[in-house]
Structure formats: C-alpha cells, structure tokens
Structure 1
Amino acid sequence: MTSPKTIFGSVALVIALGSLEKSIVTTPLPMIGQELHAGELLTWVVTAYLLASTAVLPLYGKLSDIFGRVRMLNISITLFVLGAIACGLSQDINTLIASRVLQGIGGGGLIALAFTVIADSIPAKEVGKYQGYISAVYAVSSIAGPLLGGFFTEHLTWRWVFWINIPLGILAVWLINKNLNHLSVCRKSRFDWGGALLLMVATTLLLLVISPEANLSKSLLVGLFLFVIGMLIVVERAVSDPILPRKLFQLSGYITSVFLILCSQLLMFAMLVYLPLQMQWQKGMTASKSGMIMVVFMFSITTGAYFAGKYIAKTGFYKRVVVIGFILTTCALVQLYLSFYVHISLAFAGLGLGFTLPALSVVVQHILPAQDRGIGMSMFSFGRELGGAIGVAVCSAIFHSQVTSTDITDIVDPQILQHGFSLTYLAMAVIAFIATMLTLFMLKTRPLD
C-alpha cells in the first residue's frame, strides 16, 4: 500500500503548480502590457485565470467522484499545460487572455483534486499533520512566484513565466500515474451537465459582481446571478444525482466549516494585499522591503498550520484550535488598527490563520461520505477561493470610501491614508470576531476515528 508520505509527495508538485501560477504572473505584468499593447485589458491577464479556475472547481470534484481522481488530475494538468503553452506563444493581448482562460480551466482542478486525494488516502486525525507541509508548499510558492517572474523577465523573457509549467506539469503527471493508480475508482452515474453549466455561470457572475475590475452594471449582474440560481435550484431538484447533493447541506458542521474557511481566507488576503500597500503608500517603503516584512506573515502561517496539525494528530481536538486561531487574528487586527507593534501583529495574525487551516480541513474530511468526497472537498476549496476574492473586494470598497482620490500617489497627507487603512483593519477585526463566535456556538466537537 502506498504510504501517506509518498502520496503527499506525489500531489505536492500539483499544489505548488496551482499556487505558483497565481503569483508568478504579477511581476512581469508591466512588460507584458508594454509588449502586447494591452492598455486597460492588462489586469484581465490575472482576472481571467482566477475566474476560470474558480468557476470549474465544483465540476472537477463531482467528475472525480464519478470517473476517478487520477483521470481527472491527468485532464486538469494537461489542460493547464496546454493553456500555458498557448500563453507563451500569444502575440496579442486578446489571445493571451483567452489562453489564460484555458489555463484556468485546467488549473481549477489542481489544488481541489490534490486535497481530495489527500482526504482519500490519509486518516482525518493524521491529515492535520500534513496541513503544515501543505502550508509550507503554499508559502514557498507564494514567495518564489514574484521572484521567478522577475528573474525570467529580466534575464530571459516573460514567456518563460508560462513555459516553466511544461516540465513541471510533465513531472507531476508521471508522479501521479506512478503512485496514485489505486485511486482510479469509478462509479456508474449520469453526470448532471445542466446543473454543472448553471453552477459555472452562477459562479462567474458572482465573481464579476464582487470584482472591482469588472466594468459592467452591478445591478444587471446581480439580477442575472439570482435568475441563474433560481434555474439551478429547479434543475437540481429534477435530477437523480445533482452536481450539489442535498445531503451535503445536511451534514452537521459542513456548511459552518465552509463559511469559516471563507472567513479565514478573506482575512488572509486582506492582509496580504493591504499591508504591503500601506507600507509602500503611507510609510514610503520599497516594494522589496515591504515584501520581506510580509515573509514574517507567511512564515507564521506555515508555523501555525504545522503545530496545529501536530496537536490535532496527537489529541484529536480541533475546535479549540479554530477558536484560538480566530481570537489571535482578531487581536492582531486590533493591533494593526491601533498601529501597535506591527511586526508582532503580523506574527499573531499568521499563527492564528495558520491554526484554522488544518483544523477546518480535518472537520470536512471527517464528515464527508466517500462517494461525495470529491464534490465536498471541491466546494470547501471553492469557499476558500471565494473568500480571497471577497476579502480583496470588501477591503477595496472600505478603503476607497475614505480615500477618494483617483490617484493614490497624489495624496501627500499620510493621515488620510492612515484613516483608510485603519478603518479597513477594524472591519476585518469585526469579521474575525464574528468567525470566533460562530466557531464557539456552531462548530460541534466530535471524536476523530
């Protein structure tokens, strides 16, 4: 039987590919825009990938429940690599954006299916221990992404940002097929294509509603979203094996855990985006110096996840870990609001958010039945991805409600910026406190088998 360490080693590269792709493109964006005359379409190089990868998340989970994990992982990596090749060969911005959509359709399955493979193969009580390793992969990928992007742009060409995925993708496919063939389990069921299409459309519309980059009527998007949701409910009631099984919503603690991981990622992305902005805009730091300070945050997340996972594996207790995690995060955000020992607050916030990751993953893995584990873990990943998008959008709305200048760099009064950032941190502290209360009163404690 394949050991848990071998299984984790086989999917770690898949997790790294999915994580790296979100950050490696950010550094060469100015060069891409200049060479391809992108103009205002430039930000869609990032947004197109995020929209596509998030929209297809539930599909990969459900398809893997029916057709097997390995088959869907092979399809996911193949589409991802083909999209990367198309991106590297693009000669205009429209082709690049279309190629990023294809890459995103493949990329959506990378992390979701990797987590599902881990849930299939490693007992719930032990999986917390591996969350520390997963967080380490995330942290290294997040830090390495911008550095690699800058290196390729300066010394080779920005196209290598995409071509680097070709050898890594081939290696990932080889490892998966060598070590994970025992997970090629299928079951007979008719796939809910109508529900899948409506769910993808609803997800895309929701992401466009909360995206500050979508230059479309928000009221129209909300109306379309509600209409599609209504159609989805009708279709799901009529099929025998819906894309979103009704029993998922009836599992004790599942919806609570999805909402809590959404809150956790919301808070994490709020800090990842707005703390560097404050350091550069208000305090006058360079991009590299502010980036080095954020390494404290990423290192603390990894440390928190590692020790929380070890604790859960040893004791079986997870609820207290989530509570402590959100309490630490609340205190850290209050510190940031008061501008009190910023470095210490970063360490507290990182540890706190790190605590929540393995604990909530353990809850979800433990309560999901095997036949619905793919869609269940994918919706958990969907909540995590959606939380990041909501966090950036909410912080943007709060910050710009106070800082109304069209060009931030023209603001010479640091007090105006301070007020905008402080209000943003205060709002995030309120969300962290609400998450603490929800954990205390809604998340039930159960023994881990």
Structure 2
Amino acid sequence: MSAEPSPSSTEATSGELTEPGSETTKSWRFYLIIATLSLIAFASALEGSVIAIALPQITHELSAGDNYVWIASSYLVAQTAIQPLCAQLSNILGRRNLMVFSIAVFAFGSGIAGGATDAPFLIAGRTVQGLGSGGVMMLIELIICDLVPLRERGKYLGYVQSPTAIGAIVGPVVGGALATANWRWIFYLNIPIAGIAMIIMIIFLRLNHEKPRSWKQAVLRVDWIGNAIFVASICSLLVGLVFGGTVYAWSSWRVILPVVLGACGWLCFHVYEWKPPAFCKEVSIPPRIFANRTSVAGFYIDFVSSMLLQWVAFFWPIYFQGTRGTSPLKAGIYFIPFEAFLLTTAVVAGGLLTKLGHYRPLHLVGFVLSTLGPGLNILLSDSTPKVVWVWFQIVDSIGRGILLPTTLPAIMASLPDSDAAAITGIDSAVRGTLQNGRAYQFVSGEYVQALPPAVKAEVITVYLRALRAVWIGAVAFGATGLVAVLVEKHIPLRTELDTKYGLKHEEEKATTVEHGTIDTRTLEG
C-alpha cells in the first residue's frame, strides 16, 4: 500500500486563494461558474427524475415495450463508456472546450429523442444524450476539484447538487404531467438550459492547463487503444447484463457471450493500462489510482451507491403505477419524498464533511440506511398505507443522500490532485401481452386496470413478486458497500489546492502565438 502523497503548497494559478491552509477566498467569477455547473446539473437531475416517471408512458405510446430495456439503458451505457476518454481529453484540450462540446452533444441528443417517432429513433437520441451527459457529469466534479481544495469539495459538491434538488423534486411532477400531455417536451426542455450554460462557460470558464505544442502531440497523448478496449468491453458487458433476465434467460448464449467477452475485455484493458506499449504516451486510467485500499474501497462505494440509486429510482414508479394503479402524474407526486430528502441530505452531508473532515462515519451511516431502505420495501403490498411507504422512501433516500457528496473526497484523499481526471400464473393471452419487456409498456396504461378482477389480482401479484426480487437484490449489493466502508481508512482531507488546472488570473491576457505552437484560443481550457 502506497503512502499518502504529501500536499504541496498551493499554486497561485487562479488568484482565488489566500495563504496555505486557510479558507479560500472566492471571486464573483468563481460563484458564477458554480451557479452554471448547478444549472447544467439541474438539467441532468430533471432528465433523470422525469424519465423515470414517464418512461412507461413513452413506451406505451410508441408501442416499444420490447425495447423498454434499451430505452432505459442506452443512456447509462453511453454515459459510462465515454468517461475515461473524456477525462483524458480534458487534461489535453482543457476542461472548458470539452465541457462546452459535451453540453452541445447533450442538447443535440435531447433534440433527437424529442423528435423520435419509433423506438430505434428514441434509443439513438438517448445514446447521444448519454454521451454528452457522461462528459458533463464527469467534468462538473472535475472542475470543482480544480477550483477548491479537498477539504472543501464536499461542501461545493453539495452546493452544486442543491439546485438539482429543485429539478429532482419537480421532475416527477413535471414528468408525470408531460407524459400525460406531450412527453416530447421532457427532452426539448434541455435545449434552452444547455444553451445558457454553454454561453456562460465559453465566456467565463477559463482554466489553466498544459497545452500541447501541436495538434500532433495532442493526438499522440490520447490513449486510443486503451479507450477502444474499454468502450467495447463495457458495452459488451452491459449489453449482457441488460438483456439477462428480461429479453433473454440468463442461461442464453446471447447473455453469456457478451458478459464473458466484456469481462475478458475489461481485464485486458487493465493489463494494457498497467504495461502500456512504448507508443502509448499517457494511459487513460493510471494503475496508481488503485494502489491503496482507501481509493479501491472508495471506487467500489461509488459504484455500488450510484448503481443502487438508479436501481431504486426506476422501480418506485413501477410500484406505484403497476400495483397501485396510479397515473404517471400521481406516481411522480408520490415519488417526491424520495427525491426531496435525497438532495437535501446531500447538501447537509457535504457541509458535515467539510466541517468534520471524516468520511468513514458518513459512509457507514449512509450504507446502513440505504441497505435498510430496500429491505423495508420488501414489505410493500398493493395496500400499504401511504404513511408507511413515504417513510420507506425517506429512510432509503437519506442513506443515499449521505453517500452522494462524500465518496469522491474519500477517493481523492489518498491520491494527488493531479489524478482528479482519472478518478470520477396468468392466462396465456395476458402472459403473451406482458412478456419480453412489455410489462413496462402496459404498467402506466389502462391495460392492467381493465383486466377481469381475478386476472388483475394475479398480474399485480406478479409485479409485487418481481419488485420484491428487485428490493432483495438492492439489499444484497448495499451490504457489500458496508464491507467496503470497513476496508477504507481515515486520511485527513487536504485544505490546500495543488492543481495545474485552476482559474486563470482575471487580468491574464491571451498568450501571443509563437511559431510551432497552437493558438491558445484554440486549446484554451
């Protein structure tokens, strides 16, 4: 296990800091950037909470039940696969250029999804959205790492996430209303928000970075082979996991083959990153970030908490619409307690981390509550009183809210700031109608409610049994997170900022173009 790198004295890259070890002094430009990051995070939170509610209605209108899994998952697959490449490109080309481009891609994908006339069209739009969102969400955290020292990151991550509480709270209601009226505006609303964010980023987000001497050097610094292996293996692995148990049986070769290929490819990727060939100038994921137990435990905690957050958020609306017979709008209203407490808790947890400097107790409490939450959900039935399922949501969301802003600082505590970019029983007719994913398509329509009473009761029972398996799985994965908390150790959070990517001096002028170099306005961060 490697020793913790000692923090070096703060560089005056941004003109924002006072003396080492003191609280940082922020300018109006800093707060404008934080507000803009909050705005684009708001759009992402709105998109996530809206689509969770509206997706059953969208698939019903497009008759896309067979493709429900891909409509829901294409966004996440693209979002995951693109992040290592984005992290490396942000070091080479600068944070600002890549952030503006990522926002533009997100807006373009939103336009495609909003104009979709069939399932493949919608899946394509969601995939493009995911590519843009993957870059945006990674860069939001990365830019905060560039602007404030480690000890303050939990606080500012909480600040950026707090406006998203508005999006998360109103999202289910907006999603339910738009799903009933015109679901296309779920996607179109992202376009003006993205436009405002892009303009502000272009004008005010000016960060230092090491500019390559030429475009050739920039291209050679990219780990093309490593990223290609990662993208292919992650996509293959996720395809198998997405299809397993929904489109095909887990024993099907259509599930086993992509999972095996994806796992082998992922292993090959890490072997390649560990021993890169001579022509690979920079690997996208340096092996040193896995060199100590705290960073490894932190990565696993981040993985489990992020996965289970999506897991739970997608299936609460299914419970309301499938077993309680609610409309999309009412399902959105019923989901407000979860979203409200999730983001409110995230703000409080970020502030506590900054004040106390200890992340392990927060992780322990977070995983205890977020494991207890799905465990309580196992008790849900079609007649569970409202006060009961509201409290079930609150317990779960508080636990997950504690984990949101406290995981990244824990990972970074044992790593230097220079590695910030690399881290981040029914009759056959009904059975035939609901199989192969179409159960999601009909969950929000009138199909289930119009069935004969006896058959309707059986269908609701099937939904409850399926959801029970979902909650049990969430409990099992949450329990593994508790083990990871025991593995990580406490490392003091740095109070000084040691980065080459901080804000430029406000009075800094454009550098004169020299022979053999790239115009700084071309590659400016």
User: Aligned match of 1:170 in 146, 171, 195?
Assistant: 195
Determine whether 1:197 maps to 2:228: yes
Contact 1:276 1:291 in 2 (8 A): yes
Shift of 1:259: 0.8
| Counterpart Cα distance in 1 of 2:57 and 2:356 | 51
Shift of 1:318: 1.4
User: Which amino acid counterpart does residue 359 of structure 2 have in structure 1?
Assistant: Y
Q: Which residue of 1 aligns with 2:488?
A: 443
| Counterpart Cα distance in 2 of 1:285 and 1:167 | 31
Determine whether 1:120 maps to 2:146: yes
Q: Which residue of 2 aligns with 1:383?
A: none
SS at structure 1 position matched to 2:258 = helix
Q: What percent identity do the matched residue pairs reach?
A: 26
User: Which amino acid counterpart does residue 350 of structure 1 have in structure 2?
Assistant: S
Q: How does 1:77-96 map to 2 (within 5 A)?
A: 77-89=103-115, 93-96=119-122
| Counterpart Cα distance in 1 of 2:148 and 2:397 | 26
Shift of 1:200: 0.8
Shift of 1:203: 1.2
Shift of 1:6: 3.0
Between 137-146 and 368-377, report the one with greater CA deviation: 137-146
Taking CA–CA contacts closer than 8 Å with sequence separation of 6 or more, which of the two structures ends up with the larger relative contact order? Answer: 2
User: Which amino acid counterpart does residue 284 of structure 2 have in structure 1?
Assistant: I
5+ long unaligned stretches in structure 2: 1-15, 17-25, 425-434, 449-454, 495-525
Task: Please state which structure has a larger fraction of its residues in helix.
Answer: 1
Determine whether 1:361 maps to 2:392: no
Cα deviations by residue, 1:13-41 (Å, 9 ceiling, x for unpaired): 22223333334456666786688675744
Contact 1:119 1:127 in 2 (8 A): yes
Shift of 1:64: 0.6
User: Which amino acid counterpart does residue 233 of structure 2 have in structure 1?
Assistant: A
User: Which amino acid counterpart does residue 444 of structure 1 have in structure 2?
Assistant: K
Q: Aligned in 2, Cα 1:205/1:338: closer, same or farther, shift over 3 Å?
A: same
Shift of 1:5: 3.1
5+ long unaligned stretches in structure 1: 378-399
Q: Aligned in 2, Cα 1:242/1:43: closer, same or farther, shift over 3 Å?
A: same
Q: Which residue of 2 aligns with 1:387?
A: none
Q: How does 1:12-411 map to 2 (within 5 A)?
A: 12-25=38-51, 40-41=66-67, 44-89=70-115, 93-149=119-175, 158-186=183-211, 190-212=221-243, 217-233=254-270, 235-236=272-273, 237=275, 238=277, 239-338=280-379, 341-377=388-424, 409=448, 410=455
Contact 1:62 1:375 in 2 (8 A): yes
Q: Aligned in 2, Cα 1:439/1:74: closer, same or farther, shift over 3 Å?
A: same
Between 25-34 and 203-212, report the one with greater CA deviation: 25-34
Q: Aligned in 2, Cα 1:308/1:177: closer, same or farther, shift over 3 Å?
A: same
SS at structure 2 position matched to 1:256 = helix
Shift of 1:100: 3.5
User: Which amino acid counterpart does residue 351 of structure 1 have in structure 2?
Assistant: I
Between 219-228 and 140-149, report the one with greater CA deviation: 140-149
SS at structure 2 position matched to 1:253 = helix
Q: Which is higher, the Rg of structure 1 or of structure 2?
A: 2
Cα deviations by residue, 1:173-223 (Å, 9 ceiling, x for unpaired): 112123321245546661111111111111111211111466680122123
TM-score between the two structures when normalised by the length of structure 2: 0.70
TM-score between the two structures when normalised by the length of structure 1: 0.81
| Counterpart Cα distance in 1 of 2:465 and 2:247 | 27
Contact 1:128 1:358 in 2 (8 A): yes
RMSD: 3.4
Contact 1:71 1:184 in 2 (8 A): no
User: Which amino acid counterpart does residue 175 of structure 1 have in structure 2?
Assistant: I
